[in-house]
Structure formats: structure tokens, C-alpha cells
Amino acid sequence: MAGDARRRLRLARVGPVALAAGLTLAGAGCGGDEMLGPDQVVVPTGPFDWRLPDGFPAPRVPEGEEMSAEKVDLGLHLFYDVRLSGNQTQSCASCHRQELAFTDGLPVAEGSTGQLHPRNSMSLTNAGYQPALNWANPNEVNLAHQALTPLFGEDPVELGLAGMEDQLLARLEADSTYQRLFAAAWPDRGTPVSVETITRSLAAFQRTLISGDSPVDRYRRGDRSALSESARRGQALFFSERLECFHCHGGLGFTGTFDFEGKSAPEIEFHNNGLYNIDGVGGYPPHNTGLHEFTERPEDMGRFKAPTLRNIDLTAPYMHDGSIATLDEVLDHYMAGGRAIVSGPFAGVGSDNPNKSGFVKPFSLTGEERTSVLDFLRALTDSSFITDPRFANPWPAGSPAHGSGS
């Protein structure tokens, strides 16, 4: 695509780690103030009620993508409907389960045909604040456009609807619930059911998946009882130059890739964290080389987006390929400054990867400090987010949206 080519050209002209104008690291201090968010929150205007947590700005909504409660409601129904897969066995929610902060608990995703994907299902926590949506594709910046990939993509197959657009539309048009929902969401459309309105409605729903009520958030707002003493120690360590965590997982989103209404420019970052080094010169497993796949620059080998750490305790296994099972093991990885694999096709010393981020370097922790860091990370779990009925499956039992197995 011409647009992709232009973006790739722009990427080639900027630094390999920070890929957006206006890059600012999360801050150089310590003690936790880096997550306070923007100094001045832009109060959303317009009729849509975002129900934002205190201190949260509104997501930046692309021009022409006005939000409405009707679009969100339609998107919610579509998100949970298995008729959005070719064989009617999977919905978006199959790989993005609310109770797991909209991940699936698997090392790598499994499509509707059983095909295993090369990467772990990313959390949809605060998806509307993400200016780059995938693990390593800097060109996928629009939620509505991104929805085309799981719906119609063929490599890998996710929902498996390639070539079945007419069947998809016929399924939805025949459903009386959708007849009502599409007409309400898209009243100006003579034919409201279309691939375009499906993807734009899904995007509207995903923008509402806002998580900002964890114990860490409540502590930030003044509830001193929200965090244990151990978690407070862990917070100080997390935001310290000794551990460096906040450089890639800082700010309101606990990720370096974040955007919101009123922000001067989106930030998009990709990092190599020393997970592999299969040839001694920075090699990563084939077909999973990160940003390099798009820029073809050797120094971009193994660079992936640092995902949000919000709800991180719920989103195991970890890393872009789900190759680290637990938070404990993730901490081991970073304490060693990278992972050493002693045998097999991917053997190598990740800590020696020449493309590794300068922020990933060995450090040591006492037993108490280790517990504190883990307590802090677990205090990023937002229980209200994973139980909020606004994000739950709206379809009644027995509905065709659940498939034949319901």
C-alpha cells in the first residue's frame, strides 16, 4: 500500500528506538510520580460519556470517527458474536477474554481453523490510547482498519472470513437484534450493515475499554491504604534508575506507546529486550523478527512494542511469543539483562544481543525487594475493569451469537 510505503520511509528517517515525534521518556526521577498523567487533562467535549477514571484524558479519536453510545453497543454485540468467524466458532472475545484483561491465557493465539499464530494475544486494556496497535507493526494505527486483519487475514488465519464478506453481511442482516442495532448506530446509512460499519463499530467499543482503577491508581488519588508497604517499596524500585523499568513502561499507560486527546504528538516505541540472540549478532526466530519485518534495518531486529503493564498479573504468559510463563520468570529475565537459551534452534545469549535496549541491563534484588516489585506489579490489577458489565457478553444464552455449542 502506498500509505504503508510512506510510513516505512518516515520510519527509516528516525531513530530505531523512539519512532514518533515528541518522544519523551517517562521521567528521570523516582518514587512513582511518573504515572500521574498529563499536567492538564483535556475535558472531553461532545455527547459521548467516556466515564473516564479521575486524571485520565480521553482517547484521541480519529477524525470522522465520532463516538456514540449506539456504535459502542453495536460494537459490543459484534465483539462477542461467533458469526464473525468463517466457521462460526470464534468471536473477537475468544482471544480477548474480559476476565484475563482481554487476553486469552495462551502462549500464542489460536485461530478459528486451529492455526497457531506466531504471537501472543495482546491485551485490549486501554486499546484506544494505543497509537500503534500490534506487537511490531508501526503502520497499524487505526482500530477500525486493524479489525480487518483478524476478520479477513489469511496469514495467519484468525476469524477466517476471507472471501466470505457477503456471507458475513447476510448473517448479520438476518438477525433482528442487528437490524435494530445497525439502524440505531448508523441512522444516515441507507444500507447500514457493511464491512465498514462493522469495523468502525468494533473500534468504538474497543475505545471504551479503559482501565484506571487499580490499587496503584487509587493510591495515586490519595487513598494511602490502597497499596501495601511492600507494594510502595516496589513502586519506588520500579521507577528507579537502578531497575529502569519505567523507561519502557512508564506514564499513565505503563507503556511507552501512548496517545490521548490533547497530547502534542503520539509516542510509539519499540525495544529489543534481549529475549533471543540465535546467531550471536542479534538474530531472532524467523517470521518473528519484530520491527525489522517492516523497516528491514538490521538494528531493528527483535524490536517489539513494550505492552502496557496494567493488569499484567492477568495476562500470562508473557513476551511477544508467550515464551515466559510467569511474572517471577519475567523478573528473572530482566535481572539477568536478557535470556540465555542453552540448546535448541534458538540457543543464544540474549543479554549479549547487540541490538538490546540500553535500559535492559543486569541488576540484583534482595528477596524482600523482589517480593516488593512483584507486589507492585500485581497492584496494577483493575478488578472493576474485568468485571464491568459494560464490557461483558451481552448475548443471552441460546443465542446464535454463541454458536452451535451454546
Tens digit of pLDDT for each residue in 185-241?
999 999 999 999 999 999 999 999 999 999 999 999 999 999 999 999 999 999 999
pLDDT over 50 at 26, yes or no: no
Reported as a pLDDT band with limits 50, 70 and 90, residue 47 is: confident
CA-nearest of 295, 292, 220 to 252 is 220
Average pLDDT, the chain: 90
Reported as a pLDDT band with limits 50, 70 and 90, residue 16 is: very low
Distance CA 354, CA 227 (A): 38
Distance CA 245, CA 239 (A): 6
Reported as a pLDDT band with limits 50, 70 and 90, residue 2 is: very low
Reported as a pLDDT band with limits 50, 70 and 90, residue 404 is: confident
Distance CA 247, CA 24 (A): 10
Tens digit of pLDDT for each residue in 55-111?
899 999 999 999 999 999 999 999 999 999 999 999 999 999 999 999 999 999 999
Mean pLDDT, residues 366-372: 98
Residue written as grid cell 454463541: 402
Residue written as grid cell 496517545: 259
Tens digit of pLDDT for each residue in 265-324?
898 999 999 999 999 999 999 989 999 999 999 999 999 999 999 999 999 999 999 999
pLDDT over 80 at 30, yes or no: no
pLDDT over 50 at 23, yes or no: no
Tens digit of pLDDT for each residue in 112-128?
999 999 999 999 999 99
